[in-house]
Structure 1
Amino acid sequence: MKIFVISDIHGSSYFLKKALEAYEKEKADYILILGDELYHGPRNSLPQDYNPKEVSEILNRYKQKIIAVRGNCDSEVDQMLLEYPMMSDYTILLMNGKRIFATHGHIYSEEKLPNLSENDIFIYGHTHLPVAYKKENIFILNPGSITLPKGGNLNSYGIFENGFFYIKSLLGETIKKIELK
């Protein structure tokens, strides 16, 4: 199974379209969205082609393939536009014998991890920074942001595939890679 991971769309139809082009090119099975889908948030400038209504319409076309969690900029009114559940603070997936704890990062974070077992995976968004490392036998992952990358990083997404996690730019270049074993 191949999972395409994005975070922090922040209402940009331009960058969502670029990410979905990458999803199609990657031929992934599912899309995991780590929150902040429609609203740009009060701390961010309006992103390129800010259009939350269009973003919701585009995402709804992929509703059968989306697994999503709520970000700090997401609200109940956003859920009214989206045709898949996205109001949970986290979701848990099982892949290749590993538990993946997926969340946005504003409640659980690298500094405030949930209860996890050895070799579990903690994946989050929120910081807009790509992260891939192992800390005290827990994998810590963040795909970065497709719309508003920070720290001089590129607009990026993540891929779970064949026991690895890759962080790639929207152009498909690998930025980071970690073996999940």
Structure 2
Amino acid sequence: MKIAFLSDIHGNATALEAVLEDIQSKHVDKIVVLGDLCYRGSEPKRSLELVRSLDTTVVKGNADEWVVRGIRDGEVPDQAIDMMRVEQQWTVDKLSQEDIDYLQSLPTETSVQLSDQVKIHALHATPNSLFDIVKPTDENEVVKEKLMRDSSADIYLYGHIHHPYVRYINGKCVANLGSVGLPFDGINHASYLIVEGDGADYSVGIQRVKYDVGKVLKQLDEVEYPNKEFLYGVLGE
């Protein structure tokens, strides 16, 4: 079986369309989406519609939770919270109540059987929190404690940090998908992950997809996105 995992779209429907086209060309059997669909991008509504059109497994991210109930004190740096709340309200204004209810209803984790011998545990951040951070550089014991609670899994996948990587701990695989719409690793190509397996054998690979970043930057101007300077800095060519 071949499964594509993607996350952290952040309202970047142009990047998502490019990723879905790339996925289609690779003939995957299933797509799984690991959260952060709408918030912090120029096209929250269209991004959500594209995800929902996949009719597939979607889990909730911290940004989806923010859209539903707002950003609470202590969840982001004090110097950023006012602007992030403006962004949250801007996003909510573009969505319907049915959209909000959909985000509210999303589960926080999922398990996928890649083969009869390989199980994947997938979520947005950690099993205990939509907000906790597991860094690529964390010690093995930290990663095991925060992320690898389901001892029956062979592969652990998550989003949230926007930094794609693959590593192995005690014979098990841990990988971050990176971000479709807002990568933080200095490469403004969309990032997602493909897992392929047969029996006990499997491979895990990060995929990077080039798309029209200039179009997205122009959209930020056109819709008068409230924190467009930040997004320019992340996506700027």
Same fold (TM over 0.5): yes
Say whether residues 1:142 and 2:176 are aligned partners. Answer: yes
Unaligned runs of 5+ in 2: 69-94, 135-142, 211-237
Match in the other structure for 2:64: 74
Distance 2:173 2:98 in 1: 34
SS of structure 2 residue aligned to 1:16: helix
Cα pair 1:117 1:138 within 8 Å, conserved: no
Higher mean C-alpha deviation, range 16-25 or range 115-124: 115-124
SS of structure 2 residue aligned to 1:53: helix
Match in the other structure for 2:120: 100
Unaligned runs of 5+ in 1: 41-46, 172-181
Match of 2:108, as an amino acid?
D
Distance 2:63 2:110 in 1: 17
Cα pair 2:124 2:160 within 8 Å, conserved: yes
Higher mean C-alpha deviation, range 31-40 or range 73-82: 73-82
2:108 to 82, 89, 103: 89
Normalising by the residue count of structure 2, what TM-score does the alignment of the two structures yield?
0.61
Match in the other structure for 1:38: 38
Cα pair 1:119 1:139 within 8 Å, conserved: no
What is the root-mean-square deviation of aligned Cα atoms in Å? 2.5
Match in the other structure for 1:170: 209
Cα pair 1:132 1:139 within 8 Å, conserved: yes
Output one character per residue of 1:60-81: Cα deviation in whole Å (capped at 9) or x when no partner. Answer: 2211xx2111100013758932
SS of structure 2 residue aligned to 1:37: coil
SS of structure 2 residue aligned to 1:73: helix
Match of 1:37, as an amino acid?
L
Q: 1:138 to 1:118 in 2, by over 3 A?
A: farther
Say whether residues 1:54 and 2:88 are aligned partners. Answer: no
Q: Which has a greater percent of helix? A: 2
Match in the other structure for 1:177: none
Match in the other structure for 1:175: none
Q: Which has a greater percent of strand? A: 1
Output one character per residue of 1:107-128: Cα deviation in whole Å (capped at 9) or x when no partner. Answer: 2643512423376111000000
Match of 1:58, as an amino acid?
L
Match of 1:62, as an amino acid?
L
Normalising by the residue count of structure 1, what TM-score does the alignment of the two structures yield?
0.78
SS of structure 1 residue aligned to 2:45: helix
Q: 1:60 to 1:118 in 2, by over 3 A?
A: closer
Q: Report the count of equivalent residues.
A: 161
Output one character per residue of 1:22-78: Cα deviation in whole Å (capped at 9) or x when no partner. Answer: 1111111211111101112xxxxxx4xx21111122222211xx2111100013758
